[in-house]
Amino acid sequence: MIKNRKSLEEYKEGILKGDRAVLAQSITLVESSLPSDSDLASSLVQEILPYTGKSIRIGITGVPGVGKSTFIETFGKLLLEKGKKVAVLAVDPSSQKTKGSILGDKTRMEKLAADRRAFIRPSPSGTTLGGVSAKTREAMLLCEAAGFDVILVETVGVGQSETAVKGMVDFFLLLMLAGAGDELQGIKKGIMEMADGILINKADGENIQAAKKAKNHYRNALHLFPPSENGWYPSVITGSSITGEGLDECWQIIEKYQQKMLNSGFFEKNRAEQRLKWLDEYVQYLLGKAFHEEAKVQKLLAAEKEHVRTGKLSPLTFARNLMNVFFENFQVKNS
């Protein structure tokens, strides 16, 4: 175990007390790839599980430049005024060279970060799907156990990450921009179908009329989509992170959605399905990790990978050979 690691009880006690420093250290623990940390992290998540599940989890996405971080800061401050404790899990794009975060969300949300009722955690996305941190789910549970009422998950941008985030939150908010010609051009139908709410951001100054026009475009477009499984019809509103216009309405929509889903039973049904999906993804992660850490697999990869690169060996054939080596060695170790 690393020297500065706490005991399981110390982590648990600090989290349940709402200690932000211990919470940050706990997330660092679950993000660690060290075997000793993985065992401790697993035990910690199990220990705090009874204290989780009481928050509303909100995914926030939109193309780069739509103003996600500014929106989150203004929206977060609004929620603090309403007596909520807010945690922001902002998944940054990662540098492919250093694997560290390129963006610094704490520097983009200075006022929110300074408030003790808020907690902001930027995490490098690494090599995970679409920029979604592999440990975001664990981080959400830790934040809930620490007493945060609202968990905001900011994604990198419009892409594959949206599907992953949709699968771990209760409400999925899509931020859009107006005034870029055809409002629907370049917008993926799949992302709009996933949205539980759409907010046309930066609806201020000379952009107000364009935002209202965009709002009508999106409303009309949503009528063409089939009804969602939960019976919810996504709302489309305009808002501004500068004036605060529309943000209270946004929160009212989220509260209305939460109440409707709780009454219908969909809220818990959705979370139950998400937990099973998490199980499946984590099993795949552990299998992949074990596969790549197997010495004989590494040796064969080093010897034959160049033949795949040059086209002399089929990737399919080589993959099957690697799997055979992995399972044969696994049987030997466990016989």
Tokens coding 137: 């789910």
Which tokens in the block code for residue 300? 């064969």
CA distance 156 to 93: 6
Residues 221 and 255 in one domain: yes
**202 and 219 inside one domain:** yes
Predicted pLDDT of residue 135 = 83
Asked if 132 and 26 sit in the same domain, the reply is: no
With vertex at residue 280, the alpha carbon angle to CA 334 and CA 22, rounded to the nearest 5 degrees, is 95
8 Å CB contact between 222 and 234: yes
Question: Among 307, 90, 67, which residue's Cα sits nearest to residue 200?
Answer: 67
- Do residue 318 and residue 173 come from a single domain? no
Q: Specify the amino acid at residue 146.
A: A
Q: pLDDT grade, residue 229 (50/70/90)?
A: confident
Residue 277 belongs to some domain of the structure: no
Mean pLDDT, to the nearest integer, of 37-48? 95
Task: Say how many domains are in the chain.
Answer: 3
Contact 14, 108 (CB under 8 A): no
Q: How far apart are CA 234 and CA 191, in angstroms?
A: 12
Whether residues 18 and 44 share a domain: the answer is yes
- State which of 264, 285, 306 marks the end of a domain: 264
Q: Name the residue type at position 292.
A: H
151 and 205 assigned to the same domain: yes
Residue 288, sorted as left (phi over 0), alpha (psi -120 to 50) or beta, turns out to be alpha
Q: Is the Cβ–Cβ distance between 302 and 294 less than 8 Å? A: no
DSSP β-bridge partners for residue 238: 200
Confidence class for position 129, pLDDT limits 50, 70, 90: very low
pLDDT in tens, 64-96: 788 898 999 999 999 999 999 999 998 655 434
Question: Which DSSP letter does residue 230 get?
Answer: T
For residue 2, being part of any structural domain is answered with: yes
Instruction: Indicate if 25 and 89 belong to the same structural domain.
Output: no
Burial bucket for residue 328 (CB in 10 Å: 0-12, 13-18, 19+): exposed
Q: Is residue 252 assigned to a domain? A: yes
Statement to judge: residues 76 and 193 lie in one domain:
yes
Domain span at residue 303 reads 294-333
CATH code of the domain containing 17 = 1.20.5.170
CATH number for position 86 = 3.40.50.300
Judge if 60 and 40 occupy the same domain.
Answer: no
The answer to whether 28 touches 136, Cβ cutoff 8 Å, is: no
Instruction: Measure the CA–CA gap between 243 and 9, rounded to whole angstroms.
Output: 45
Percent of the chain clearing pLDDT 70 (strictly above): 85
Tell me which DSSP letter residue 126 carries: T
Tell whether 276 is covered by a domain.
no
Within a domain: residue 283? no
271 in any annotated domain: no
Measured torsion, CA atoms of residues 250, 139, 27, 164, in degrees rounded to the nearest 10: -100
Is the same domain home to 126 and 213?
A: yes
Quick check: is 174 in a domain?
Answer: yes
Residue 98, domain member (yes or no): yes
pLDDT band of residue 160 (cuts 50, 70, 90) is low
* 2 confidence band (pLDDT: 50, 70, 90): low
Same-domain check for residues 39 and 78:
no
Exposed, middle or buried: residue 99 (CB in 10 Å: 0-12, 13-18, 19+)?
exposed
Q: Tell whether 151 and 176 lie within a shared domain.
A: yes
